[in-house]
């Protein structure tokens, strides 16, 4: 066709007009740090594994998860999920049920028998780990996966630490714990049970490094004058004895003194052991209580009673003397001089635990503060090659923190063994709520996990909280907004009036075509998750 001059044009010829020259700002893709990832004490790439879970690829999700933490089934039950507290979705409707998806993945892995990938060839190095709690096991796992020889020496008869001898079964069924521990041991980790380390300097001989994770097991005592016949026990020993053959005898009325999660666990255990009354006595108020809200709530549902603003002053047979307290302006409890009597067959003291540091005697250059071992940023104590983590160092005491310490220590030990220093990745900018365009997320409330019926909760040690099934796990995973990281929603590709966004194909994300991008900023404004930023063009 000899088309008329000028007035008829060839199609698509405007490509020769490079409108990129109009730009004063350019869009760039970036990855931001999602707040959940930022909040995870174990450093999990939560958003990363949710990404796979969203597409129903649970194995991939699980594999990504266990890159950081070998205990998803445990975490999915006992972790206090600070990630969810930080989840941006909480500002929209309710946080993503990260923890429940994690549990689903953990359970799925157990059910399907997924194994860790084989560790690489041995490095020839040997690391001693003291204590088979979450911290020790986590360190063992990571070191083993780096090819190092690992031996755990554990004082107790079974692995798990407080996960086994503290956390009650109704929150963490032991078959779940066993399965996840076994999977670690299957990596070739040597576990020596009933092997208390008395002196670390001696035990470390023959090892290239050691990681201490002995926890905090010495019950704190409060001075309470007690009559000879008074039945007073400490929480840790009580819970520990739950793992034995014989059930402890507590009586009809059990009083627990303390306000932490341990106190709650003890009271709930007492109910299950047949106590008609399980009463927590706490010196301050509910707001001040260190125990997590949801645990208090569950305890109350099960009939546990809590006596606020009360201090136990005297324990006698079958009876306690309690003083009423008031809070001063600093929120500290102050005595009032008002006393009352309380019936109690058993008094359980749940006042916290101290670390048993005897095995460290004679180790040079150690710093002990507030009864904990001081470690530097790389988890190493003052003594070269001796690392420590978990409850025995100064930090929040939780399974997740302990596991995180284990991982962190492992990375530094690995570097130490190679005579190098471990450089963590620099953190991306935080993907805070303001970076999101939440219009694009449809309204979807969090899935509530099923709970065991109340009668069985009061009479058995069956697991209280159920898990998600595949369909609601998928739903929950898909509630993730992928804060700060492109999830291939195609918005930028769609909204650019200049077709200046190139779609690279599934999994490959997008690229800007700066030849035509006019820098209008629509792509950045309409990216739901804040994965695009406008930067001034150098003119």
Partner 1 sequence: MLKQIEGSKAVAEAVALCRPEVICAYPISPQTHIVEALGEMVKSERLAPCEYINVESEFAAMSVSIGASAAGARAYTATASQGLLFMTEAVYNAAGLGLPIVMTVANRAIGAPINIWNDHSDSLSQRDSGWMQLFAENNQEAVDLHIQAFRLAEELSMPIMVCMDGYILTHAFERVDIPSQEEVDAYLPSFEPRQVLDPSEPISIGAMVGPEAFMEVKYLAHAKQMQAIERIPQLASEFRSAFGRESGGLVRTYRMEDAETVIVAMGSVIGTIKDVVDEMRDEGHRIGVLTIVSYRPFPLEQVRGALQHCKRFLVLEKSLAVGMGGIVATDVRMAVTGAGLRGYTAIAGLGGRPIFKAQLHQLFSQAEKDELPQVTFLDLDWEAVNRQQERERQTRRSGPVAENILHDKGIVSAKFG
Partner 2 sequence: MGFQPIKFYQTGTYTVGNRLLSPDQRSVQAAESRSNSINSGHRACQGCGEALGARYAIDAAMAESHNRLIAVNATGCLEVFSTPYPESSWQVPWIHSVFGNAPAVATGIAAAMKVKGKTDVRVVAQGGDGGTTDIGFGCLSGMFERNDDVLYICYDNQAYMNTGVQRSSATPPAARTATTMPVGPEPGNPFGQGKNLPEIAMAHGIPYVATATVADLRDLEYKVRRAMRMRGARYIHLFVPCPLGWGTASHDTIRIARLAKESGLFPVFEAEHGEVRSVLKIRRKVRVEEYLMPQKRFAHLFGSHPHPEMVIRIQEIADRNIRKYGLLDEEEAA
Please state, in angstroms and rounded to a whole number, the distance separating the CA atoms of residues 290 and 287. Answer: 8
The span of 50-58, 106-114, 224-232, 259-267 binding ligand FAD (CB under 6 A) equals 259-267
**How many amino acids of this chain bind partner 2 (CB under 8 A)?**
58
According to CB under 6 A, which one of 20, 34, 134, 258 is a site residue for ligand FAD?
134
Contact with ligand SF4 (CB under 6 A) among 456, 498, 533, 537: 498
**CA 142 distance to own-chain centroid:** 17
Q: What sign results for the dihedral spanned by CA atoms 167, 168, 173, 179? A: positive
Name the minimum Å distance from CB 108 to partner 1: 51
> Using CB under 6 A, which of 267, 492, 507, 537 touches ligand SF4?
492
**Rounded alpha-carbon distances, angstroms, from residue 164 to 98, 173, 268, 399, 417:** 23, 9, 16, 11, 31
What is the nearest approach in angstroms of ligand SF4 to the Cβ of residue 6?
Answer: 22
Q: Which of 517, 533, 535, 539 binds ligand SF4 (CB under 6 A)?
A: 517
123 to each of 192, 483, 537, how far by Cα in Å?
Answer: 21, 38, 49
Q: What is residue 192's DSSP assignment?
A: E
Contact mark string toward partner 1, 8..47, x via CB under 8 A: xxxx------------------------------------
The CB-of-515 to partner 2 minimum distance in angstroms stands at 8
Q: What is the DSSP string of 213-276?
A: -----EE------B-TT--EEEHHHHHHHTTSSSPPP--SEEEEE--SHHHHHHHHHHHHTT-S
Angle at 185 between CA 181 and CA 189, to 5 degrees: 135
Geometric angle at alpha carbon 459, from 76 and 234, rounded to 5°: 75
Query: How far is residue 29 CA from its own chain's centroid?
Result: 30
414 vs 488 by CB, closer to partner 2: 488
272 token code pair:
């299950």
Contact status, residue 262 vs residue 289, Cβ threshold 8 Å: no
Give the per-residue contact string, 480-509, with partner 2 (x = CB under 8 A; - = no). xxx----xxxxx-xxxxxxxx--x-xxx--
369 is in the binding site of which of ligand SF4, partner 1, ligand FAD, none (Cβ under 5 to 8 A by kind)?
none
Partner that binds at residue 44, options partner 2, ligand FAD, partner 1, none, CB closer than 5 to 8 Å by kind: none
Task: Output the smallest distance, CB 88 to ligand SF4, in A.
Answer: 14
**Would you count residue 526 as binding partner 2 (CB under 8 A)?**
yes
Q: Three-state SS for 333?
A: strand
Residue with Cβ nearer ligand SF4 (346 or 491): 491
Residues 169/170/176/180 CA torsion (nearest 10 deg): -60
Interaction site with ligand SF4 (CB under 6 A): 27, 29, 486-492, 495-496, 498, 500-501, 510, 512, 517-523, 527-529, 531-532
Interaction site with partner 2 (CB under 8 A): 6-7, 9-19, 22, 54-55, 439-444, 475, 478-482, 487-491, 493-500, 503, 505-507, 513, 515-516, 518-522, 524-526, 528, 534
């Amino acid at each position: 066709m000899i088309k008329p001059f000028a007035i008829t044009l060839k199609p698509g010829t405007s490509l020769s007009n490079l409108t990129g020259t109009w730009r004063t700002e350019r869009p760039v893709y970036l990855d931001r740090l999602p707040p959940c990832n930022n909040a995870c004490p174990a450093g999990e790439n939560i958003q990363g594994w949710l990404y796979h879970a969203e597409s129903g690829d649970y194995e991939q999700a699980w594999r990504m998860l266990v890159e950081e933490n070998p205990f998803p089934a445990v975490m999915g039950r006992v972790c206090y999920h600070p990630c969810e507290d930080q989840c941006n979705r909480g500002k929209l409707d309710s946080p993503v049920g990260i923890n429940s998806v994690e549990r689903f993945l953990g359970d799925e892995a157990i059910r399907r028998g997924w194994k860790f990938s084989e560790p690489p060839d041995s490095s020839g190095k040997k690391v001693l780990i003291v204590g088979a709690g979450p911290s020790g096991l986590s360190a063992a796992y990571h070191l083993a996966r780096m090819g190092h020889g690992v031996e755990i020496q554990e004082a107790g008869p079974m692995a798990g630490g407080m996960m086994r001898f503290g956390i009650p079964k109704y929150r963490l069924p032991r078959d779940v714990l066993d399965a996840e521990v076994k999977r670690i041991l299957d990596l070739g980790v040597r576990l020596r049970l009933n092997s208390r380390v008395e002196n670390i300097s001696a035990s470390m001989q023959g090892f290239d490094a050691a990681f201490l994770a002995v926890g905090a097991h010495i019950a704190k005592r409060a001075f309470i004058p007690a009559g000879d016949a008074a039945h007073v026990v400490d929480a840790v020993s009580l819970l520990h004895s739950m793992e034995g053959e014989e059930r402890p005898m507590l009586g009809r009325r059990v009083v627990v003194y303390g306000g932490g999660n341990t106190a709650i666990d003890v009271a709930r255990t007492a109910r299950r052991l047949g106590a008609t009354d399980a009463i927590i006595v706490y010196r301050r108020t509910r707001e001040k209580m260190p125990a997590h809200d949801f645990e208090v709530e569950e305890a109350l549902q099960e009939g546990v009673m809590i006596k606020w603003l009360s201090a136990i002053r005297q324990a006698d047979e079958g009876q306690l003397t309690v003083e009423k307290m008031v809070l001063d302006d600093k929120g500290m409890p102050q005595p009032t001089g008002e006393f009352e009597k309380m019936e109690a067959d058993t008094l359980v003291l749940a006042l916290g635990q101290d670390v048993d540091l005897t095995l460290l005697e004679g180790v040079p250059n150690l710093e002990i503060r507030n009864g904990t071992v001081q470690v530097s940023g790389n988890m190493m104590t003052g003594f070269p090659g001796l690392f420590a983590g978990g409850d025995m160092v100064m930090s929040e005491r939780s399974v997740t923190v302990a596991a995180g310490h284990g991982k962190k220590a492992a990375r530094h030990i690995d570097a130490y063994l190679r005579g190098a220093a471990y450089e963590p990745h620099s953190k991306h900018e935080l993907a805070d709520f303001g970076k999101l365009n939440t219009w694009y997320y449809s309204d979807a409330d969090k899935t509530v996990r099923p709970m065991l019926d109340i009668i069985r909760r009061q009479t058995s040690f069956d697991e209280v909280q159920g898990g998600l099934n595949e369909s609601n796990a998928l739903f929950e995973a898909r509630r993730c907004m992928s804060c700060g990281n492109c999830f291939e929603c195609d918005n930028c590709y769609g909204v650019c009036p200049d077709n200046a966004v190139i779609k690279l194909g599934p999994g490959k994300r997008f690229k800007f075509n700066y030849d035509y991008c006019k820098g209008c900023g629509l792509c950045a404004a309409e990216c739901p998750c804040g994965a695009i930023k406008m930067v001034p063009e150098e003119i």
